[in-house]
Structure 1
Amino acid sequence: MHSSFGTRNIGQSFGFKLFCCRVCTCVNFGFVNSRVGLIKILQLTLATLCEGLLVRYGIPAVDTIGQALTSMLTTTAYCFTTTAILMICYCFSEKSSSLIRQSLFETLFNGVACSMYFSSSSYMGFACVVWLHPQFLVRPGFWAYPAMTAAYYMGYAAGILHAIDAYLAFRYYRGCR
């Protein structure tokens, strides 16, 4: 049985070899090591880092940046949750990985995630330049500006990753594996 994510067959793609036997055979490590798996791991990592910065440094400055924070928090939470669910499905079911990936869902999800990241990152960038940067210049220890700047840069990077994933999912959907 050939898999679309670079694994050879179920006996070789699930689990890992430890001495003379395979362990953790319920986990598809072949997916995790594939190009799509690595992209998903990067997406989860960027969403986690963004969310951490937004909660730690953005919430105390919510009076200043307002809806830009809400927009970015919503985007990272939505993208993290959906990507994590997909990752769990793909890691525990080789059948799910081929069925979901060949449907239009992956293409649409990643396209929407890309546009949401670009939109919320642009809004956060505007808020940083207009409202946070002046405060950063006059208030010592005002770390919301550099943290929110890092968050919106990572948001753009996550948007690019979702765009790449949307393209790869679309090619898979069209049969160009």
Structure 2
Amino acid sequence: MSRGPTIVRMPPGGGANARGFKCCCCRCCECLNIGYLTTQHGLIKLCEAMLGGLCQSLLVKYGMSAAGTMGSAFHGFLTTASACLLTTALLITCYVLSSKTQQLMRQTIFEWLFNAVACFLYLSASSCLGLAVNIYLYPQYVLMPMYAAYPTMTAVYYIGVVVGIIHGVDAYLSYKYYKNLIY
């Protein structure tokens, strides 16, 4: 006679390595929720943080010299990237430090509202930056072929669109998660 299936409960936030990480024959840092980073939500947050950080660093390194030429479009995108990166980094830190925080925050309106606002901000800032880059920097690039600000700022507003879409997907998934908990 065979037994039925065995039910194994996983720790919140991920698979077998959700609590700490395995080092030799024991687990280290079991207070950390490292498994969160391998979940769908964790990977989306990591993508948002990495792409937002890339945008911010490219803006600071290559765009500062042309900031006066691009005007408020540059400063608007830099503000968007900085604010969204800071909030995303804080959320990732909180979720890795505490699986309870992850469970509680995912149940609130903050997660999906932040992502919806970040989506709007990235998409609008990207469109403004794209317009400024093509109107003000492209003529300078035609005159000076080694002008690095134009291709870099073009890459920044393209990456900004991608980050905006990722935040939009995260907002949708967070909203679905939020609504499934209520009903």
TM range (shorter): over 0.9
Would you say 1:5 and 2:3 are equivalent positions? no
Would you say 1:156 and 2:161 are equivalent positions? yes
* Structure-1 separation of matches of 2:177 and 2:12: 9
Q: Deviations over 1:22-43 (max 9, x none)?
A: 1021221110000110111111
- How far off its partner does 1:2 sit? 5.4
Q: Deviations over 1:121-142 (max 9, x none)?
A: 0000001111111110011321
* Structure-2 separation of matches of 1:7 and 1:172: 19
The TM-score normalised by the length of structure 2 is 0.90
* Structure-2 separation of matches of 1:91 and 1:109: 19
The runs of at least 4 consecutive aligned structure 1 residues that moved more than 2 Å come to: 1-8
Structure 1 match to 2:111: 106
Q: Unaligned 5+ residue runs, structure 1?
A: none
- Inter-CA distance 139–148: structure 2 relative to 1 (3 Å threshold): same
- Inter-CA distance 157–3: structure 2 relative to 1 (3 Å threshold): farther
More strand by share: 1
Structure 1 match to 2:84: 79
State the structure with more CA Rg: 2
Aligned sequence identity (%) = 45
* Structure-1 separation of matches of 2:81 and 2:175: 23
Q: Unaligned 5+ residue runs, structure 2?
A: 1-8
* Structure-1 separation of matches of 2:36 and 2:145: 47
Asked if structure 2 preserves the Cα contact closer than 8 Å seen for 1:5 and 1:36, the reply is: no
